[in-house]
Amino acid sequence: MQVPFAKPHLTGREGALVAEVIASGWVSQGPKVRAFEEAFAARVGAAEAVATTSCTTALQLALYVMGVGPGDEVIVPSLSFIATANSVWQCGATPVFADIDPDTYNLDPDAAERAITERTKVIMPVHQVGLPADMDRFLDLGARYGIEIVEDAACAIGATYKGRQIGSMGPLACFSLHPRKVITTGEGGMITLNDPQVADRLRKLRAHAMDVSDLARHSAKDVVIESYPERGWNSRMTDMQAQLGLCQLESLDWILQRRRELAERYSAAITHIPSLEAPVEPDYAVRTWQSYCVRVNARLPIGRTDLMRRLLHDGIPTRRGVMTIHEEPAYADATVRLPHSEAAARDVIILPLFPDMTEEQQDYVLERVATHAVAQAA
């Protein structure tokens, strides 16, 4: 059996609906992007949402409007995709790496507090693989030290923290719409916030800071001469992508439910494999299960990479656990020691999980995992 590692959920309606957008003649950023922003904001309980080309550009724009620039520091977890740190670098600032909570794999608020200096401008908690970080503690840190909070919520649409939707609490939250995330627009990102003035500036900045939108110019009854009061970027989503995003939002509740069902099946089985440890979900959080991360321990009779290699030979692709950015060559100048992050990056495997995964496929994954992780021990 060949089991995909990840696969977006598509209903079959998407092609015809995207074709309607193409037939309209408006394929770049236009009315569908605005409709998608409104629907996304409503879904997460935010006043505003601003669509971008990716979560990376969303993070870059979010940091920029928070005033982050050369000489500033942004505290981030090292245990994250490299885009978290790259977005800081793209603003000319310095990412400062802090350690994680070993149980949740999320940035540890105490470690973040220890990393604060007079140059700290922002703390960026990451809701790792869709598990909400301890937001009340981060918001408290921000208030006490006068530091902004920008959430890397790439995997977290639909997640909740103490009953509140991720995307509705902090000043700015940034989501990913890559095919490996909970919902997709192919490529894309979204910023959610509650300040309409900041949202207006973000919409301008994503279009080279032009002071009038394409939608407004094309619907104008008189000549419009635009101006550019500041410098910006081209980070615009297209209406074709937005139409796909609207379709995906309609399926979001089902996707989240199905991911949870599959994750619970995994956890129930993995509790019976002594060499593996299932992920946790704290009482304060409801996670999206964007990925299923299983941790190997000293009882595993083979190495983690060897286990991944054997599973791949069985037709089961896996991925290493979340990377540690400070151990990558691109950030070799980071001289930090983060034991919890380094252990998680070394010991975690991500198993296949996607909404349309069948129980037969999942049972095959579990059977092969048990064969290599248990039978080998004998």
**In angstroms, what is the C-alpha Rg of the chain?**
21
121 is an active site residue: no
* Cβ atoms of residues 56 and 235 within 8 Å: no
Distance CA 309, CA 142 (A): 43
Provide the CATH topology of domain 14-249. Answer: Aspartate Aminotransferase; domain 2 (3.40.640)
Domain boundaries, the chain: 14-249, 252-377
pLDDT tens digits in sequence order for the chain, 378 residues long = 999 999 999 999 999 999 999 999 999 999 999 999 999 999 999 999 999 999 999 999 999 999 999 999 999 999 999 999 999 999 999 999 999 999 999 999 999 999 999 999 999 999 999 999 999 999 999 999 999 999 999 999 999 999 999 999 989 999 999 999 999 999 999 999 999 999 999 999 999 999 887 777 777 777 878 889 999 999 999 999 999 999 999 999 999 999 999 999 999 999 999 999 999 999 999 999 999 999 999 999 999 999 999 999 999 999 999 999 999 999 999 989 999 999 999 999 999 999 999 999 999 999 999 999 885 444
The two tokens of residue 194 are 């509650």
Active-site option among 32, 181, 204, 221: 181
Q: Which amino acid is at 172?
A: L
- For domain 252-377, give the fold: Aspartate Aminotransferase, domain 1 (3.90.1150)
Cβ-defined contacts of 113-119 (< 8 Å, 24+): 113/141, 115/75, 116/75, 116/141, 116/145, 116/147, 117/73, 119/71, 119/72, 119/73, 119/94
Q: H or E element: which one contains 268?
A: helix 239-270
User: Token pair for residue 347?
Assistant: 């010991």
Task: Output the pTM of the full model.
Answer: 0.95
Question: Residue length, the chain?
Answer: 378
Strand ordering across the sheet containing 148-152: 48-52, 189-193, 172-176, 148-152, 120-123, 73-77, 94-98
Give dist(CA 196, CA 73) in Å, integer: 26
Q: Evaluate whether 14-249 and 252-377 have a shared fold.
A: no
